[in-house]
Structure 1
Amino acid sequence: MAGNGGCAEDEDCFEDAFDRIPVSCQMDLQSAIQETQCALNLVLNNKFSEALDLLKPWWRHSMYHALGYSSILVMQAAMTFEQGDIQVAMMTIKDALHTCQRFRKRNSVVGSLSSLVSKQTSLQEEEMHAEICYAECLLQKATLTFVQDENMISFIKGGLKIRTSYQIYKECQNSMNATQDQAGSSDSFRQFEGGVKLGIGSFNLMLSLLPQRILRLLEFIGFSGNRDFGLSQLREGASGGSLRSILCALTLLFYHTYITLILGTGEGDLVEAEALLEPYQQKYPNGSIILFYSARIAALKGNFEKARSRYEECIGSQQEWRQIHHLCYWELMWCHSYQQDWREAYRFADLLCKESRWSKAIYVYQKAAILSMMSEEEVTETGENVVELFRQVEGLKQRLAGKSIPTEKFAIRKARRYNADNPVKLVLPALEMMYVWNGFSIVGKRSDSTEALLVTVERAEEVLRSDPTPSEVHADDSCLVQMLKGLCLKHLGRLLQAELCFTQVLSSERRIRFDHYLVPFTLYELGLLYKQQGDVTKAAAYIENAKMNYKDYSMESRLHFRIHAALNSLRGSPASTP
């Protein structure tokens, strides 16, 4: 801290030792930024409570302390999903917004910031930084607003906060561009610039992911996102040496390792992800957040053994935030599922059911789905009743912003099969959920695991084919098996056979009674298959068919995100030759 010499200006403060937490005698802007950097280093070294203790004395008086303090509590609330944690975080953000507001330019919602940098008084610098801190707090509040209440009013309120935050960032960007020559060398301006790049980059990236229909739904009319510009802003921010550099890097890591899988085509840049993570692995070798991303990258590359080891390291690295353990349990469950080690996958699914509150419906369904892949003898050893587990799912649903979680709705609908007096068993439910989370894009990196999955799928195919008394859902089950078989074949490079499986699903469309999602998702997969073969025109036609001609099916929004990403990637592909 500049005020008392307790903290150096570099980012290494509190990296290795935490013998004492100094209390600053004064808190000017530079001191506040440096102390918040120290708190961030504490978080990255698993010292979560110590980070809060460092920020707490000043969080009602310093905008950066307020932002840092609320950020940690929001992160905790987002992971615990405990209503108490959410309420505490929400109250803290409201106070943080009041703190930031005191430093903002008066008589203006955003303020014309272009004149502030040219005048070099401390107050005017604080006004600049107050805009950025205020915008970040607004985003945090919007995030919690979406999950705190169960009505559409909260949803609209959250959207309005995001809109205001976006407008502030745009004004800050204009100011930064107009005044860069005069103040580009000062540390204060570099910190301001880092905040702008984090905000503008994140917004552009987020908005570029949203299909037009969702943009309209959220009333983002007139908002547009440029993916490449967003990525470039975040890259510049990550290398800029500011307080927010690590936040830019973590945003990029989340994009490459999660967003591209769940809401895209699964084409994250793992080379860039590793390069972004490497310096932080050197600096925070035992940091749970860093270990977690290292494990995730290993899993996405198909190195499930290394991934499992890193997730276990992450769990062992700290005991204060059990929520990080739950994230690791979820990933370990999938790593074992990819290799069909169902006993171990069940162990982690069971831990999630017992410890995590994120979505009990999904956890219980997932556990039941995994047990369905095991032999009767193995299930008996666990002491579980699979039918009873499936019957519990519907009663565990929750609502966010007045709406059910799409994946929960999917799980509930599938589990209803077991509500009948004579339930018809689900076919390969764990592999179906693997597809829902785009897991075939991950397991497809390993030919041995993909071949083993293909054997399992073909076994189910044979059972259905030889069923002497087909049920009313026989066509649905057969189409699911053909889609999963096509995915395995595609990742094994057997494209013609994969195409035959996908077209078999499409030809059975009229016979499907319940799983109507299979047709548009199969059209999308067939489009990706033609893209892989270089036939861009045919690829676009099939994907557009899925987009335009189907509605009101399970996980429709998720598919539209993926379609949006796929069509954008096709526009950058060379046209196919006839």
Structure 2
Amino acid sequence: MDLQTSIDETGIALKLFLNNKFSDAKERMEPHSLKSMYPALGYSTILYLQAVMTFDMNDIESAIKIIKRSVAVCNTYRRKTTVMGSFRKTLTRVSYNDLTEDEIHAELCYAECLLLRALLTFIQDENLISFVKGGLKIRECYKIYKECNKILKSRKWTDEQHRIHFESGVKMGVGAFNLMISLLPGKVMKLLEFVGFSGNKQLGLAELENGSKMTTSLRGPLCSIVLVAYHTVVTYVLGLGDGDIELASEVLKSCLVKYPKGALFLFFAGRIQEVKGNIDEAVSKFEESIDSQSEWRQFHHLCFWELMWCHCFKSDWLLAMKYAEKLCHESRWSKATYTYQKASFLLMCDDQSEDTKAHVTYLYGAVPNLKQKIAGKSLPFEKFAVGKTLRYTEQNDYLTLPAFELIYVWNGFNIIGQKMHLIDPILTIIEQTINEIQTNKDKYLYFYDDYSLALLLKGVCLFHRKQYFQANQCFTEVISYEKNIKHDFYLVPYAIVEMARICLNQDEIAETKALLEKTKKNYKGYQLESRLHFRIHAIKLQIHSRDDTTSQPCTPSTENLPSFDNST
């Protein structure tokens, strides 16, 4: 199969995939994946997506086997360099015009396959060697993208369509790498910069946006997916909910014109409505996404997760619990998390009969046995959930506002805060709980933990109501109880960062920086620490964006990819 046919066939398979015809796409790619680079890449990508969605070890091992084979297929098309050739290359300027179009596209496909292989390495095995292997593959992939970027700029192109396909691939790789690395907290960034990585958020977003506009290219739709996912999901899960929703809506609109029933695009349409606070409209879109296909149940799980939160935001605890139950039965990602959520939502229901209480106790009791390890590490939230279930038992079967605590740690208040009709009922329940705790202080085994949690949640609600003075009072009181808190040590550093957000909104930049530094310097080893570091990093990015002299998270290179020093 020649290069153009290879690209065309993969393009057809991509359209099938985005139109929910997953098996058809897979079957179209499989016969050619043994010998042709683009079908090999396409087939590997489908198996990769299937593996990460099911989290089934058989699927993961099968995907790794196919991706290894695809890496070998792509490698056969790459320019073979001898030892002497490599030596001459370091002494003379490389002429990229000497490379054939097959060879340059092979570099790009090789990098993409290598990245898929590396990402699966992280979840395949639990030992440190797997992490080292995965890291080395990503490092090699990063170097190849840099080289591809040089090819794009330096080469004289004879086929314009081949250049467009190549350019969209470079933009996707460069954009995704820069964006991904720029999101990481400072401590991780320093380590990555030491081994040659750096990330530039603005550059990453610009590259992906330009790539998404290349509508005739093979990777144009993929650039759109990454860009929309960043603005509608990543910024809300890891940051402050400061994604560009208008841009995401515009990019998604053109995708829905081409793929009106595409399950993934309907999911993002629901997500856009959700982050705007239009919960009923979001529910409708997520249900439409579920109804659009039944071939890959894994896509349904994405919608179940969002539907669970949508009903949670509306304080419809019974429906939220039912979606957590669906996930618990069908998804392999984290049964401990789903079970803890299910119990916490059930605990908030008005019906607190003896049967309901017994079922809640049973569910919380099951959580510790469901905890798992991924890549040798326990999931931070699972450890958090196990700690809470032990508290539930120790406190004679009660927890304080567990569902609202879940909304907070999963950054849901950034969504609820968009609409006062969502935040006000929650604030009322929190204030009633605070009065209950104060009135019956002696009944609470860990009074300061429970009272501080309720105060933190009240402060967050007041922050989103723009009642900054009252919110600040809540956070200050939480901090004052630092020495009295026995278990929930995360409350104090989180309260300090919430105070920093108030300062940021009032343009008190020096005070914002001081509070962030205080949090990083004085607090270590508390629950959900890494989540808070992502929020701290997101605040710092906002500070940088307000200052023209430090508008970038790191120094941009003269090329479209940060420099990579081979000597490290």
The reply to whether TM is greater than 0.5 is yes
Match status 1:477 vs 2:456: no
Q: Counterpart of 2:400?
A: 427
In 2, are the aligned partners of 1:361 and 1:411 still within 8 Å (CA)? yes
Q: Counterpart of 1:138?
A: 114
Other structure's SS at 1:385 match: helix
Question: How far 1:212 moved relative to its partner?
Answer: 2.9
Match status 1:212 vs 2:186: yes
Q: What do residues 368-395 of structure 1 show as CA deviations (whole Å, max 9, x unaligned)? A: 1111111244784x69611121111111
Q: Counterpart of 1:251?
A: 226
Q: What do residues 308-358 of structure 1 show as CA deviations (whole Å, max 9, x unaligned)? A: 001111111111100111111110000000010111111111111111111
Q: For 1:367, give the aligned amino acid.
A: K
Equivalent residue for 1:343, pick from 318, 343, 356:
318
Q: Counterpart of 2:540?
A: 567
Q: Counterpart of 2:493?
A: 520
Q: Counterpart of 2:465?
A: 492
In 2, are the aligned partners of 1:163 and 1:220 still within 8 Å (CA)? no
Stretch moving more, 357-366 or 470-479: 470-479
Equivalent residue for 1:129, pick from 99, 102, 105:
105
Q: Counterpart of 1:168?
A: 144
Instruction: Describe the shift of the 1:103–1:258 C-alpha distance in structure 2 as closer, same or farther (beyond 3 A).
Output: same
Q: Counterpart of 1:79?
A: 53
Q: Counterpart of 2:560?
A: none
In 2, are the aligned partners of 1:482 and 1:502 still within 8 Å (CA)? yes
Match status 1:223 vs 2:202: no
In 2, are the aligned partners of 1:80 and 1:358 still within 8 Å (CA)? yes
Q: For 1:247, give the aligned amino acid.
A: L
Q: What do residues 5-61 of structure 1 show as CA deviations (whole Å, max 9, x unaligned)? A: xxxxxxxxxxxxxxxxxxxxxx11011111101101001110000001111110011
Other structure's SS at 1:469 match: helix
Question: How far 1:207 moved relative to its partner?
Answer: 1.0
Stretch moving more, 541-550 or 332-341: 541-550
Q: Counterpart of 1:13?
A: none
Q: Counterpart of 1:193?
A: 167
In 1, are the aligned partners of 2:55 and 2:332 still within 8 Å (CA)? yes
Q: For 1:412, give the aligned amino acid.
A: V
CA RMSD in angstroms comes to 2.0
Q: For 1:371, give the aligned amino acid.
A: L
Match status 1:47 vs 2:21: yes
Write the mapping of 1:170-185 to structure 2, written as runs, cut at 5 A.
170-179=146-155, 182-183=156-157
Match status 1:507 vs 2:480: yes
Instruction: Describe the shift of the 1:190–1:360 C-alpha distance in structure 2 as closer, same or farther (beyond 3 A).
Output: same
Q: Counterpart of 1:88?
A: 62
Instruction: Describe the shift of the 1:383–1:65 C-alpha distance in structure 2 as closer, same or farther (beyond 3 A).
Output: farther
C-alpha separation in 1, matches of 2:194 and 2:409 = 27
Q: For 1:366, give the aligned amino acid.
A: Q
Higher relative contact order (CA 8 A, sep 6+): 2
* TM-score scaled by length of structure 2: 0.92
C-alpha separation in 1, matches of 2:35 and 2:354 = 58
Match status 1:418 vs 2:397: no
Q: Counterpart of 1:12?
A: none
C-alpha separation in 1, matches of 2:357 and 2:261 = 37
The sequence identity of aligned pairs, in percent, is 46
In 2, are the aligned partners of 1:39 and 1:55 still within 8 Å (CA)? yes
Q: How many residues align?
A: 542
Match status 1:118 vs 2:97: yes
Match status 1:454 vs 2:433: no
C-alpha separation in 2, matches of 1:184 and 1:551 = 57
Q: Counterpart of 2:123?
A: 147
Q: For 2:464, give the aligned amino acid.
A: H
Instruction: Describe the shift of the 1:366–1:187 C-alpha distance in structure 2 as closer, same or farther (beyond 3 A).
Output: same
Instruction: Describe the shift of the 1:211–1:557 C-alpha distance in structure 2 as closer, same or farther (beyond 3 A).
Output: same
Equivalent residue for 1:101, pick from 65, 68, 75:
75
Question: How far 1:107 moved relative to its partner?
Answer: 2.1
Stretches of structure 1 lacking an aligned partner (at least 5 in a row): 1-26
Question: How far 1:534 moved relative to its partner?
Answer: 2.0
C-alpha separation in 1, matches of 2:68 and 2:76 = 13
Question: How far 1:177 moved relative to its partner?
Answer: 1.7
C-alpha separation in 1, matches of 2:354 and 2:145 = 54
Q: What do residues 74-117 of structure 1 show as CA deviations (whole Å, max 9, x unaligned)? A: 11111111111111111110111011111111127998798675
Q: Counterpart of 1:18?
A: none
Equivalent residue for 2:366, pick from 375, 380, 392:
392
Stretches of structure 2 lacking an aligned partner (at least 5 in a row): 549-568
In 1, are the aligned partners of 2:74 and 2:109 still within 8 Å (CA)? yes
Stretch moving more, 464-473 or 523-532: 464-473
C-alpha separation in 1, matches of 2:196 and 2:525 = 27
Q: What do residues 244-272 of structure 1 show as CA deviations (whole Å, max 9, x unaligned)? A: 11111111111111111122121010001
Q: Counterpart of 1:445?
A: 418
Question: How far 1:150 moved relative to its partner?
Answer: 1.3
Instruction: Describe the shift of the 1:220–1:391 C-alpha distance in structure 2 as closer, same or farther (beyond 3 A).
Output: farther
Q: What do residues 446-499 of structure 1 show as CA deviations (whole Å, max 9, x unaligned)? A: 101100110111111111111152434210111111110001111112111111
Match status 1:365 vs 2:344: no
In 2, are the aligned partners of 1:536 and 1:573 still within 8 Å (CA)? no
Match status 1:261 vs 2:245: no
Q: For 2:109, give the aligned amino acid.
A: C
Other structure's SS at 2:442 match: coil
C-alpha separation in 2, matches of 1:278 and 1:116 = 41
Other structure's SS at 1:493 match: coil
In 1, are the aligned partners of 2:449 and 2:487 still within 8 Å (CA)? yes
In 2, are the aligned partners of 1:361 and 1:397 still within 8 Å (CA)? yes
C-alpha separation in 2, matches of 1:465 and 1:353 = 36
Q: Counterpart of 2:409?
A: 436
Question: How far 1:554 moved relative to its partner?
Answer: 1.0
C-alpha separation in 1, matches of 2:54 and 2:353 = 32
Match status 1:356 vs 2:356: no
Other structure's SS at 1:302 match: coil
In 2, are the aligned partners of 1:117 and 1:125 still within 8 Å (CA)? no
In 2, are the aligned partners of 1:536 and 1:574 still within 8 Å (CA)? no
Other structure's SS at 1:511 match: coil
Q: Counterpart of 2:565?
A: none
In 2, are the aligned partners of 1:195 and 1:244 still within 8 Å (CA)? yes
Equivalent residue for 1:554, pick from 512, 523, 527:
527
Instruction: Describe the shift of the 1:108–1:374 C-alpha distance in structure 2 as closer, same or farther (beyond 3 A).
Output: farther
Other structure's SS at 2:195 match: coil
Instruction: Describe the shift of the 1:560–1:538 C-alpha distance in structure 2 as closer, same or farther (beyond 3 A).
Output: same
C-alpha separation in 2, matches of 1:95 and 1:482 = 55
Q: Counterpart of 2:563?
A: none
In 2, are the aligned partners of 1:116 and 1:124 still within 8 Å (CA)? no
* TM-score scaled by length of structure 1: 0.90
Equivalent residue for 2:43, pick from 45, 69, 85:
69
Q: For 2:152, give the aligned amino acid.
A: M
In 2, are the aligned partners of 1:116 and 1:125 still within 8 Å (CA)? no
C-alpha separation in 1, matches of 2:438 and 2:195 = 51
Instruction: Describe the shift of the 1:108–1:472 C-alpha distance in structure 2 as closer, same or farther (beyond 3 A).
Output: farther
C-alpha separation in 1, matches of 2:158 and 2:514 = 49
Q: For 1:253, give the aligned amino acid.
A: V
C-alpha separation in 2, matches of 1:393 and 1:372 = 15
